[in-house]
């Protein structure tokens, strides 16, 4: 059985990527199981998704703690103490990392013993689709690593995307981008894990008082600790020669990340700015430029 775990951020398409892999495997005659794991839906927040592929019926349930294949769709997650995507990865496993760095650089940087594959699928998504939507691209890389066929991937994308979008041209572009990633990745050997069939057991849950089962939350929020600035794909850059200090950007920022400097000009708190780029869309003088964020290892500390 192949056990595949996806790590991404809300809005990048980890859930759809895991589903594409499962559907492609199913179309090849395998048993497949895929499902996501996340709390309240929040764009940019870390999420995980899981896919199991087997030639026999799959009786396992629950999250995948020890994946054979790990797909990390956002490199900044490797520095998130809450996400911890490398947890459980075996030394003989395979990890795909969406990054601008080479496999050797990433392997040395993150002390990864498993086989590692890297590719900047964010750039491919922007160049092909015009947006950093990574679902079909991550699904394509995962399908290649899992040893599935190109035709199965194409049929899976057509099936799954046709249920959520009606633009046939956009579906075609997604297929193009996914197959590009599929054919860019070299074939690899993945050691599969044994299937574990566990007998049914009865679980007894004792009654607990409300003071234990539903405790009050009185601690302060942890937003500053989450480094939400790492969630960005794009960053706003101000051109003060065009800025007329109208402060519309300050009013429109949904996270209050734009404040005023000593000269009366607005500036961005990049520690917390998530890169929604609403400020650039609302700026009447077009004084805010939308620039692709390139996270260096220094900025990720």
Find, among 50, 48, 49, 54, the residue nearest to 2 by Cα.
54
Shared-domain flag, residues 18 and 140: yes
Shared-domain flag, residues 156 and 78: yes
Shared-domain flag, residues 87 and 172: yes
Shared-domain flag, residues 57 and 167: yes
**Band of pLDDT at residue 139, cut at 50, 70 and 90:** very high
Distance CA 187, CA 146 (A): 9
Distance CA 154, CA 286 (A): 40
Shared-domain flag, residues 137 and 55: yes
In DSSP terms, which residues pair with 4 in a beta bridge? 51, 69
At residue 124, does pLDDT exceed 70? yes
Helix (H) or strand (E) segment spanning residue 248: helix 248-252
pTM metric for this prediction = 0.80
Shared-domain flag, residues 82 and 231: no
Helices (H) and strands (E) in the chain, counts: 9, 10
> Which of 157, 184, 211 corresponds to the end of one domain?
184
Residue 107 lies in a domain: yes
Instruction: Supply the range of the domain harboring residue 135.
Output: 2-184
Mean per-residue pLDDT of the chain: 87
* Domains contained in the chain, number: 2
Shared-domain flag, residues 165 and 243: no
Residue 258 lies in a domain: yes
Find, among 42, 37, 44, 62, the residue nearest to 52 by Cα.
62
CB 247 within 8 A of CB 266: yes
Residue 259 lies in a domain: yes
Q: So what's the pLDDT on residue 208?
A: 66
Residue 203 lies in a domain: no
* For the chain, percent of residues with pLDDT exceeding 70: 86
Looking at per-residue pLDDT, the higher value among 227 and 299 belongs to 227
Looking at per-residue pLDDT, the higher value among 65 and 202 belongs to 65
Distance CA 56, CA 161 (A): 27
Q: So what's the pLDDT on residue 16?
A: 95
Residue 194 lies in a domain: no
Q: So what's the pLDDT on residue 83?
A: 85
Q: So what's the pLDDT on residue 57?
A: 92
Q: So what's the pLDDT on residue 199?
A: 54
Looking at per-residue pLDDT, the higher value among 195 and 22 belongs to 22
Q: So what's the pLDDT on residue 137?
A: 96
Shared-domain flag, residues 120 and 251: no
CB 255 within 8 A of CB 270: no
> Which of 184, 207, 237 corresponds to the end of one domain?
184
Shared-domain flag, residues 180 and 230: no
At residue 197, does pLDDT exceed 60? no
Domain holding 16: CATH number?
A: 3.40.920.10
> Which of 123, 153, 184 corresponds to the end of one domain?
184
In DSSP terms, which residues pair with 238 in a beta bridge? 288
Residue 15 lies in a domain: yes
Shared-domain flag, residues 75 and 141: yes
Domain holding 246: CATH number?
A: 3.30.70.20
Give strand ranges (E) for 160-240. Answer: 234-238
Distance CA 1, CA 193 (A): 6
Looking at per-residue pLDDT, the higher value among 165 and 199 belongs to 165
- pLDDT tens-digit map of 76-100: 999 888 789 999 988 889 999 999 9
Shared-domain flag, residues 71 and 177: yes
Find, among 73, 52, 54, the residue nearest to 64 by Cα.
52
> CA–CA distance from 77 to each of 62, 74, 173 (Å)?
22, 6, 27
Shared-domain flag, residues 154 and 21: yes
At residue 270, does pLDDT exceed 80? yes
> CA–CA distance from 279 to each of 9, 38, 223, 269 (Å)?
22, 28, 21, 13
Find, among 259, 261, 266, the residue nearest to 243 by Cα.
266
- Taking residue 239's Cβ as centre, other Cβ atoms within 10 Å add up to 12
């Amino acid at each position: 059985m192949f056990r595949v775990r996806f790590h991404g951020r809300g809005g990048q398409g980890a859930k759809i990527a895991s589903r594409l892999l499962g559907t492609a495997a199913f179309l090849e005659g395998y048993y497949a199981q895929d499902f996501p794991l996340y709390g309240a839906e929040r764009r940019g927040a870390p999420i995980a998704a899981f896919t199991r592929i087997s030639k026999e019926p799959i009786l396992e349930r629950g999250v995948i703690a020890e994946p054979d294949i790990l797909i990390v769709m956002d490199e900044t997650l490797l520095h998130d103490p809450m996400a911890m995507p490398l947890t459980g990865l075996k030394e003989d496993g395979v990890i795909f990392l969406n990054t601008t760095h080479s496999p050797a650089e990433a392997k040395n940087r993150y002390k990864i013993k498993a086989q590692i594959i890297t590719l900047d699928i964010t750039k491919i998504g922007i160049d092909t689709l015009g947006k950093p939507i990574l679902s079909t691209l991550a699904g394509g890389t995962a399908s290649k690593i899992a040893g599935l066929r190109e035709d199965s991937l194409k049929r899976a994308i057509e099936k799954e995307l046709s249920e959520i979008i009606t633009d046939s041209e956009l579906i075609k572009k997604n297929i193009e981008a996914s197959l590009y990633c599929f054919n860019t990745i070299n074939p690899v050997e993945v050691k599969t894990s044994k299937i574990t069939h566990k007998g049914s057991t009865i679980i007894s849950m004792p009654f607990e008082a409300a003071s234990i089962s539903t405790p009050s939350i009185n601690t302060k929020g942890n937003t500053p600790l989450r480094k939400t600035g790492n969630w960005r794909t794009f960053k706003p850059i101000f051109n003060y020669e065009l800025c007329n200090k109208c402060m519309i950007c300050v009013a429109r920022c949904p996270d209050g990340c734009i404040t005023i400097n000593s000269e009366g000009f607005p500036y961005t708190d990049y520690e917390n700015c998530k890169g929604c780029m609403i400020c650039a869309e609302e700026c009447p003088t077009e004084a805010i430029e939308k620039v692709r964020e390139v996270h260096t290892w220094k900025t990720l500390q």
